[in-house]
Structure 1
Amino acid sequence: MTDSRRAFLAKAAKITAVAATAAVLPTALAGPASASAHSYYFFCTKCFGMTVGVITPPGGLNICPAGGNHTQAGYNFILPYNVSETANAQANWRLCQKCFSLFWRGYPTDGVCATGGGHDSGPDGDQQSFFHNFVLNHDVPPGPKSQDAWRFCVKCYGLFFFGYSTNGRCPAGNEHKEAGFNFVLDHL
């Protein structure tokens, strides 16, 4: 086999794998179109961020600021989306399609992504994908099926767990820096 034929076949295989992943991931993560919440979100043990639970697809997604891919552990969180914002529920939380971390998209810029540049929330209003407008409860008492101590990082705009003696690894450098609400997230 010639080198040009090998290169062509390798490129064709990569394009096919990326297309297959793009076609499968949104459907697998979104659940029914009529749902207003879905699960499959986890704590990363390296950066302490909230990440979506997926096997790393082709293209290098699921990048952790602490190096490599996110390492997920703990509860399987349920995040409500496309519901009304209230005094104790903040909207504009999005999933970055580059690093697969949750970040707040409420400022003119989109924070700092572990892959470089700002986070990328994907297409607005896409109800058939996992790029929803998540609405997260805050400053309410946690129950037996919820966890508090999730905070906004003012450096990267990500959501991270603020329940340890350190604050994990921030893609903007060093540790996350907490601010704002105490988010309380439901889990299975």
Structure 2
Amino acid sequence: MLTVNWSQTDWRFCGQCYCLVRLGDAKNRCSLGSRTHWLIGWNFRLDYTKDYGPHAGETPHKQSAWLRCSYCAVLYYKDFGGSCPGRAGAVHKTTVPFVQFLVPHDVNPVPRDRQSRWRFCTKCSAMYFDGYAPDRGVCRGNGTLGHAPAGNVFQLPIYHY
């Protein structure tokens, strides 16, 4: 089993598109028009591996193959291209070198230091918060319908409130 020695903080919720975002550049664009992300709420911490192999570091309750898009700054699932607002709807793109984030999911009961209800969107491939359903934020790949949830229910570790 892989021991993760690295983690990254400063992952935040965007109050416009509902995606999980880590800004690194002022040009990073939100799905809501040409605006930048509006970061609010908790600060999350994600473990990662520097192994570039397919699905490196996965366990029964941690999924890898999650990357940070260099253009829109969201966490997206690399097995599906998605739709990036920073690239006019083209697929998300990560510059090399990249790391694969290991995102915890389906742990019951949910640990007290985690927020649940984070989901994968089948239209844009981003990680988004589904806790306000039926309002599902703004999705570049799904127009005004918001994000389209599928798969695991992710539980993000809270770094600080």
Report the secondary structure of 1:81's partner residue.
Answer: strand
Q: Deviations over 1:72-99 (max 9, x none)?
A: 0111100110172011111100000000
Q: How does 1:171-186 map to 2 (within 5 A)?
A: 171-172=140-141, 173-174=143-144, 175-186=146-157
Residue 17 of structure 1: aligned partner = none
What RMSD, in angstroms, separates the aligned Cα atoms of the two structures? 1.5
Residue 47 of structure 1: aligned partner = 17
Q: Deviations over 1:147-174 (max 9, x none)?
A: 0100000000000000003000001122
Gaps of 5+ in 1: 1-33
Gaps of 5+ in 2: 50-55
Change (3 A) 1:53 1:144: farther
Q: Deviations over 1:97-153 (max 9, x none)?
A: 00011100014xx11001221100211xx2xxxx31001010013222110100000
Do residues 148 (structure 1) and 119 (structure 2) align?
A: no
Structure (1/2) with the larger strand percentage: 2
Residue 13 of structure 1: aligned partner = none
Which residue identity does 1:142 align to in structure 2?
V
- Bigger Rg, structure 1 or 2: 1
Structure (1/2) with the larger helix percentage: 1
Q: CA separation in 1, counterparts of 2:45 and 2:37? A: 18
Which residue identity does 1:37 align to in structure 2?
S
Calculate the TM-score normalised by the size of structure 2: 0.84
Identity of aligned residues (%): 32
Q: How does 1:55-94 map to 2 (within 5 A)?
A: 56=26, 60=27, 62-67=28-33, 68-82=35-49, 84-94=57-67
Higher relative contact order (CA 8 A, sep 6+): 2
Calculate the TM-score normalised by the size of structure 1: 0.72
